[in-house]
Structure 1
Amino acid sequence: LRRRIVATRLPPKELVADRSQGVQLATIQELARYWATDYDWRACEAKLNALPQFTTEIDGVDIHFIHVKSRHENSLPLIMTHGWPGSVIELLETVGPLTDPTAHGGQAQDAFDLVLPSIPGYGFSGEPAEIGWDSGRVAQAWPELMRRLGYTRYVAQGGDQGAAVTDAMGRQAPEGLAGIHMNLLVTALGGGAMPAGTEEERAALEQTKTFRASGFGYFLEQATRPQTIGYALLDSPLALAAWMLDHDTDAYYKISRAFVDGKPSGGLTRDHILDNITVYWLTGTGASAARSYWEGGQATARAAGQAPPEVKLPVGFTTFPGEIFAAPRSWVEKSYPNLIYFNKAGRGGHFAAWEEPELFATEIRAAFSPLR
């Protein structure tokens, strides 16, 4: 890894002062310097190994998951799904607040038993050997995982790709699933018509248009040509890093400041960012993770013209201000009529659990409180 970082042939400096041409050279140079000299993977390894980890085969794929039981009685089982370009790494700092709330400003009755699986093709889970592993199929695997763990009643949460999985779980309504919470409105991102009558709604609509116009490149490439980008992601650690950093404007500038200025935004530190990228590199899952977007596109094409099942389960939703778009309550209610919790958080962005784990945990406690 270090030899490859040092040997990278870098492009010349961008010709603009912002990220409009992509990941800036100064950011990637400082990331490369830190990764090759100061970064300690063993620290991340120790953090992972301090948690109970398992694998189990479901539908022909080895599923890796972290399973932390709370010491408090009557804790609520929660399965939480990461996104892209994330992994279970982005959720690790929420383990303490969610499973041991009394040590983090909560009460014993707020406790969860926490299950953190790696999506097939991501990190430590196996890569599917056949097509068809879209978010709906992952959503079918998670209830089987919870059943094997002995849980007959549980809740689910997700952001980014994890929101797509959690949304699908809500529509499939497997036995035992009591409710869901998300922090990305995938129904709006998927092109669904949303109200645009108020100033808040129009602002959110403009945000979605801006993202599609200037921040959708990675999405289109992974949805149409994951194998092509995979050659770079598997061969060059800095290509992998740049690809993963170039997700959304808010997160990019926060990550860039962490490396260039040494000023992290909450949990988005240099070490945490590189922990996540290094998991992708060591497991060689850049291409297989990208393929999940292709699977999503294929599933959308198959379902063209068919209205998805309604989510009748209780739904909680939190809008974080730095998200790709700040979903208004009216948009969430249009997508999920049985909305039992909605809140606008005061800080945090697309990687909310990673950036603001304590605040994120507070939101999860509040959202699922009526279901205990």
Structure 2
Amino acid sequence: MDEFRIEIPQPDIEDLRDRLRRIRWPRSLPDASWDRGVPVEYLRSVVDRWLEYDWREWEARLNAYPQYLTRIDDQPIHFLHARSPEPDALPLILTHGWPGSIAEFLEILGPLTDPRSYGAGPADAFHVVAPSVPGHGFSVPLEQPGWNHERIARAWAVLMSRLGYRRYGAQGGDTGSVVSPLLGRIDPEHVIGVHINGGLAFPNARPGDLDDLEPRDQAKLQAAERVRRTGTGYAELQSTKPQTVSFALSDSPVGQLAWILEKFHDWTDPAHSLPEDSVALGHLLTDVSIYWFTNTSATSANLYYENRVVADSAASASSTPTWPHSPDPTTLRSAVPTGVAVFPTDPAIRHILDREHMITQWTEYDRGGHFAALEAPDLLIDDIRAFFRTVR
């Protein structure tokens, strides 16, 4: 296990700025709205801000926390490891998603690791481990195919064991909302609780599940249907031809910016009209800069491809069952206590998720969105603390 510091070469920063100055802007229809994608004039304004943005400031913020590189299952794994000053702190592994990175945890690391300094009790302290998902950020290069959600969860179990943590919690949004429960199923002897937010999948409903819904759940379902109808083009591309779309994203920083910025527009608090109304633009640009500097448009999209392959294989296998067989722990209802924080963009419906998780805490919020660690860090921190008080 080697110590790691983020040190982007200065020529790479200058190259980014040069490319931003030379962008060839596309033609667009007059007054084209977000319904057609990221508006050109809006993106011009964000690019102007990116030219003024100080990467070194954000690099220093990230480097304020100890980081390491290790190899698990023949894959380089980068992770941030912020230990609490409280000796009895609970280890907690945080998992980001796409288009996220470990940078999205910057606003919650201090309160989670050192609650005493933020006006909370020391009994709520955590030792935080935040890995970069393979193929994302600094967990590169992606050296093999097959890095799907389950394989990531198994790697996280190895990582926590390697760090000497025998009793720990798991938390995550987006990809993390899938990987964290899988980690609980794979390593139930050591995972004492799972906390999730930010799931995007359309509810896995059975006949009758969507009848007689409360108005709040009806609104969630309508929003999820809109996403399924008009907001999944990125996922279709990344799950079928991730390499092809990456040529544009890896060669044009503005292309990479638009690809990610659209998701921050669509998935953040619907009460806000622009992405930076929900997430500070510095955070947005840091996230995009990480994807650009690490050249991970293709390798991060690969996760969508791998999970589609798994889903297709499962669908095929279900039509030709074999017997006898041993139960797969990743397909069973989790026996690990689970907390769910539901923000306005989350299509979570409790009675459906109850079939997969042993839910012991369920909280719905009227503020925030998919990127809760950036949009409503206060609510997410309080929810994480409240849940893990019940299982420490």
Fold agreement, TM-score > 0.5? yes
Name the SS for the 1:303 alignment partner: helix
The superposition leaves residues 191-240 of structure 1 with CA deviations (integer Å, 9 ceiling, x where unpaired) of 44343322333332222211100111111111111011110111000000
Of 108, 116, 124, which residue of structure 2 is paired with 1:94? 108
Query: Residue 251 in 1 paired to residue 272 in 2?
Result: no
Of 269, 290, 315, which residue of structure 1 is paired with 2:280? 269
Distance 1:132 1:143, change over 3 A: same
Contact 2:220 2:346 in 1 (8 A): no
Report what 2:305 is aligned to: 294
Count of matched residue positions in the alignment of Structure 1 and Structure 2: 360
Of 22, 32, 43, which residue of structure 1 is paired with 2:37? 22
Contact 1:14 1:25 in 2 (8 A): no
Query: Residue 334 in 1 paired to residue 335 in 2?
Result: no
Distance across 2 between alignment mates of 1:352 and 1:106: 20
Aligned residue identity for 2:361: Y
- Map 1:9-48 to 2 at 5 A: 9-15=24-30, 17-36=32-51, 38-48=52-62
The superposition leaves residues 168-209 of structure 1 with CA deviations (integer Å, 9 ceiling, x where unpaired) of 2133234311111111346x5374434332233333222221
Distance across 2 between alignment mates of 1:57 and 1:190: 35
Report what 1:215 is aligned to: 231
Name the SS for the 2:71 alignment partner: strand
Of 19, 23, 40, which residue of structure 2 is paired with 1:4? 19
Gaps of at least 5 residues in structure 2 are 1-15, 319-327
Of 357, 374, 386, which residue of structure 2 is paired with 1:354? 374
Shift of 1:252: 8.7
Report what 1:140 is aligned to: 154
Distance across 2 between alignment mates of 1:257 and 1:315: 30
Shift of 1:324: 4.5
- Map 1:116-131 to 2 at 5 A: 116-131=130-145
Contact 2:268 2:375 in 1 (8 A): no
Name the SS for the 2:195 alignment partner: strand
Distance 1:272 1:281, change over 3 A: same
Name the SS for the 1:27 alignment partner: helix
Task: Give the root-mean-square deviation of aligned CA atoms.
Answer: 1.9
Shift of 1:7: 1.1
Aligned residue identity for 1:371: V
Name the SS for the 1:79 alignment partner: strand
Aligned residue identity for 2:239: A
Distance across 1 between alignment mates of 2:203 and 2:69: 32
Distance 1:160 1:257, change over 3 A: closer
Query: Residue 228 in 1 paired to residue 228 in 2?
Result: no
Distance across 1 between alignment mates of 2:41 and 2:35: 14
- Map 1:299-314 to 2 at 5 A: 299-304=310-315, 306=318, 308-314=331-337
Name the SS for the 2:146 alignment partner: coil
Distance across 2 between alignment mates of 1:252 and 1:318: 14
Shift of 1:35: 1.0
Shift of 1:255: 8.1
Between the two proteins, what is the percent identity of the paired residues? 39
TM-score, length of structure 1 as denominator length: 0.92
Report what 1:261 is aligned to: none
Gaps of at least 5 residues in structure 1 are 259-263
- Map 1:140-179 to 2 at 5 A: 140-179=154-193
Report what 2:363 is aligned to: 343
TM-score, length of structure 2 as denominator length: 0.87
Name the SS for the 1:213 alignment partner: helix
Name the SS for the 1:246 alignment partner: helix
